[in-house]
Each structure stands twice: as C-alpha cells, then as structure tokens.
Amino acid sequence: ETGVTQTPRHLVMGMTNKKSLKCEQHLGHNAMYWYKQSAKKPLELMFVYNFKEQTENNSVPSRFSPECPNSSHLFLHLHTLQPEDSALYLCASSLISAANTGELFFGEGSRLTVL
C-alpha cells in the first residue's frame, strides 16, 4: 500500500467509448502525475499538477484530458482512443519542498486495453 489508489485496475474500451481513470492520494502531497508505461519503453510523463495547477503537458493527444479538482484527486478522461493507447497508466504523487527528496509514490496502475 503506497498511499496512492487508482481505479479501475483494468479497463477495456472500444474506440468510441468515453471513460475516466481516477487517482487518489492520502499522503498530503502537493504534486500529482500521470505516466504511461508501455512494454519495452521508459515511463512516459503525460501530465503534472502542482498545487492543482497543470504545469506539464508533454504533447499528449487531446483524446486524453486530465482533471485535478483538488490536491488529493486526479482524473484522466479518455475518449475516442486508439489501439496504440493500450498501456498501463500510472498515477504518482510527491511532496515538493526544499527539505524533501521529492520521490514519487506510485499507484498500482490502470491497465487499459483499447479494442
């Protein structure tokens, strides 16, 4: 138990569906992240929120839409995805401060399959 919870753990969707991934952290952290993990590739940073403000958007297609309503919750809204979007989507959080190493705490991930 890392203190970061992701739901659902598994999701199968068609290319015309709309679904959302949810992440919740109970660690009092001030930054939250979405990463994409595909086989044989490095973790790819998608979005970062710092104090609820989006600070990074790494050229992610608009079919992925993040939402951060407060510092404890993060969503990834999915619509009209492509089969190549099938991957493990990892949420993470960290505490950004001068007195902290700022390591990431990851959730278990949401395994997404797009048919």
Partner 1 sequence: GQNIDQPTEMTATEGAIVQINCTYQTSGFNGLFWYQQHAGEAPTFLSYNVLDGLEEKGRFSSFLSRSKGYSYLLLKELQMKDSASYLCAVRDWGYIPTFGRGTSLIVHP
In the complex, least distance from residue 56 CB atom to partner 1, rounded to whole angstroms: 7
In this structure, how many other beta carbons lie within 10 angstroms of the beta carbon of residue 86? Answer: 16
Interface with partner 1, residue 13, by CB under 8 A:
no
**Which tokens go with 34?**
């979405």
Q: What is the dihedral of CA 112, 91, 67, 69, to 10 degrees?
A: 140
Write the interaction track for partner 1 spanning residues 35-64; mark x where CB under 8 A is met and - where it is not: x----xxxx-x--x-------x--------
In the chain, the N- to C-terminal Cα span, in Å, equals: 31
Interface with partner 1, residue 112, by CB under 8 A:
no
**Which tokens go with 42?**
């490095």
Residues that bind partner 1 (CB under 8 A): 2, 4, 31, 33, 35, 40-43, 45, 48, 56, 90, 94, 96, 101-109
